[in-house]
């Protein structure tokens, strides 16, 4: 297969959060820290109810090799450890910590060198979560055997249309991003770094070039522009475009010799290597037509939606509101403001609720728009029909498992058909009918 033609939804040059610096949240009274992030295995607590903990202290460790270290986001007292629902609809243990307003913290021990084995151990210790692959970052490198990396891709743009975290981090924390990228390069022995940006962001490319030239950073790098079309930063699409290799469910971008990191991962890795800082907070974009202070926020792990909404401000407090974690094309609607924001949250959209938007779907008019927009070259309309017909063979023939669930087909459909939702269901159906293979 050749290079995938880049389809998708054209993104605007600027969004309402472009260029806004990162805001730190004011200290909260309580932090309810989830011990699981999406696909990542639940960690087990290493603290007990009643314990005093410092900011940065280890509070949970991996139960198996697919977990991450979790650190306290605050100095305080452990009030409870209990099961609670997460923003992705699963129950997991949470550690409830009450802030004691002391300014005490612990760091990771200093490292002696930046040899690759030391760096990978620091990556493991730091608790860094990979929000592209939804796995502990170190696992990508620790258990993949002797891979030869052709390049390290650093995403300086964002996966979601309502998200500007990576471009903002590059704008305001360029030193840490560039240094962190260098540590990833050392660790992977990749011969060079490719910074990937959309063609909306040429100014940031100049900023990278200028920074590297002025600071005489000693590494080989390239800049690659891709058309600003959602979901161009999806790793499967990027790997295919940049490594010219097809990636499917049975292979990974690591098999194509491509390591992928984001500007945010580079920033966090740099802080872990140079300052011994474990990961306790996530940069999250807050956007939508019902929020007063849109922007990028540094949110400690375990802050509730309720606290965040109070801080960011709501335009219309008396009307119902939609809370969406992720973007408007494929985000997950939240129904409970007590849910915690976690290290896997990238963006949150607060929208005024409009009951008339939830109109009925109409019959397919065979316009072909879904087909034209699908970035994976699938036929969404036929996939939907195969699902409705319970036709597992046809789903397989139509390469159902290649769907990346981006939502472009539903977004573009003039008949407002629930195509993506049905395809997601169909993937589960197809998995079951194939014995989960």
Residue numbers at the binding site for ligand SF4 (CB under 6 A)? 364-370, 374-376, 378, 380-381, 403-409, 412-415, 417, 419-420, 423
Of residues 58 and 392, the one with the C-beta less far from ligand SF4: 392
The neighbouring-strand residues paired with 78 are 97
Rounded least distance, CB 246 to ligand SF4, Å: 15
Q: What torsion do the CA atoms of 176, 182, 188, 190 make, to the nearest 10 degrees?
A: 140
Which helix H or strand E contains 382, and what residues bound it? helix 380-388
Rounded least distance, CB 245 to ligand SF4, Å: 19
Of residues 114 and 364, the one with the C-beta less far from ligand SF4: 364
Rounded least distance, CB 373 to ligand SF4, Å: 6
Both tokens of 324, joined, read 């969406």
Strands (E), 35-73: 43-45, 52-53, 58-62, 70-71
Of residues 1 and 213, the one with the C-beta less far from ligand SF4: 1
Rounded least distance, CB 394 to ligand SF4, Å: 14
Segment 140-147 long-range contacts (CB within 8 Å, at least 24 positions apart): 140/254, 140/259, 141/187, 141/188, 141/259, 143/65, 144/254, 147/188, 147/254, 147/255, 147/257
Rounded least distance, CB 331 to ligand SF4, Å: 13
Rounded least distance, CB 130 to ligand SF4, Å: 21
Rounded least distance, CB 425 to ligand SF4, Å: 12
Of residues 28 and 376, the one with the C-beta less far from ligand SF4: 376
For the chain, what's the residue count? 437
Of residues 69 and 420, the one with the C-beta less far from ligand SF4: 420
Of residues 80 and 415, the one with the C-beta less far from ligand SF4: 415
Sign of CA dihedral 429, 435, 436, 437: negative
Of residues 320 and 368, the one with the C-beta less far from ligand SF4: 368
CA dist 368 to 374, 375, 376, Å?
Answer: 10, 14, 15
3-state secondary structure 201-247: CHHHHHHHHHHHHHCCCCCCEEEEEECCEECCCCHHHHHHHHHCCCC
């Amino acid at each position: 297969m050749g290079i995938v033609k880049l389809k998708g939804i054209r993104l605007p040059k600027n969004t309402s959060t472009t260029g806004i610096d990162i805001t730190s949240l004011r200290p909260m009274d309580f932090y309810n820290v989830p011990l699981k992030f999406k696909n990542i295995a639940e960690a087990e607590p290493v603290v007990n109810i009643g314990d005093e903990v410092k900011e940065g202290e280890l509070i949970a460790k991996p139960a198996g090799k697919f977990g991450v270290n979790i650190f306290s986001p605050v100095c305080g007292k452990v009030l409870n450890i209990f099961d609670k629902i997460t923003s992705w609809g699963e129950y997991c243990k949470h550690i409830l910590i009450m802030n004691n307003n002391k300014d005490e913290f612990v760091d990771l021990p200093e490292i002696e060198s930046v040899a690759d084995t030391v760096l990978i151990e620091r990556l493991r210790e730091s608790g860094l979560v990979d929000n592209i692959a939804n796995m502990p970052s170190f696992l990508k490198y620790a258990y993949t055997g002797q891979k030869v990396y052709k390049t390290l891709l650093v995403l300086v743009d964002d996966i979601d249309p309502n998200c500007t975290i990576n471009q903002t981090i590059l704008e305001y924390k360029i030193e840490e991003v560039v240094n962190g990228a260098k540590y990833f390069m050392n660790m992977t022995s990749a011969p060079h770094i490719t910074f990937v940006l959309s063609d909306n962001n040429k100014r940031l490319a100049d900023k990278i070039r200028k920074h590297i030239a002025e600071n005489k950073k000693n590494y080989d790098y390239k800049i690659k522009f891709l058309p600003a079309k959602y979901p161009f930063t999806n790793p499967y699409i990027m790997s295919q475009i940049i490594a010219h290799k097809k990636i499917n469910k049975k292979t990974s971008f690591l098999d194509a010799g491509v390591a992928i990191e984001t500007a945010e991962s580079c920033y966090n890795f740099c802080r872990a290597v140079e300052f011994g800082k474990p990961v306790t907070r996530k940069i999250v974009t807050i956007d939508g037509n019902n929020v007063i202070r849109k922007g990028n926020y540094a949110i400690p792990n375990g802050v509730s939606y309720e606290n965040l909404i109070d801080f960011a401000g709501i335009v219309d407090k008396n009307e119902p509101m939609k809370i969406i974690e992720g973007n408007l094309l494929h985000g997950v609607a939240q129904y409970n403001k007590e849910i915690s924001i976690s290290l896997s949250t990238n963006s949150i959209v607060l929208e005024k609720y409009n009951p008339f938007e939830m109109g009925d779907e109409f019959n397919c008019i065979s316009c072909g728009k879904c087909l034209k927009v699908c970035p994976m070259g699938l036929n969404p309309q036929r996939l939907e029909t195969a699902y409705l017909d319970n036709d597992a063979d046809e789903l397989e023939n139509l390469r159902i498992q290649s769907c990346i669930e981006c939502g472009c087909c539903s977004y573009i459909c003039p008949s407002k058909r629930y195509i993506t939702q049905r395809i997601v269901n169909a993937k589960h159906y197809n998995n079951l009918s194939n014995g989960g293979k």
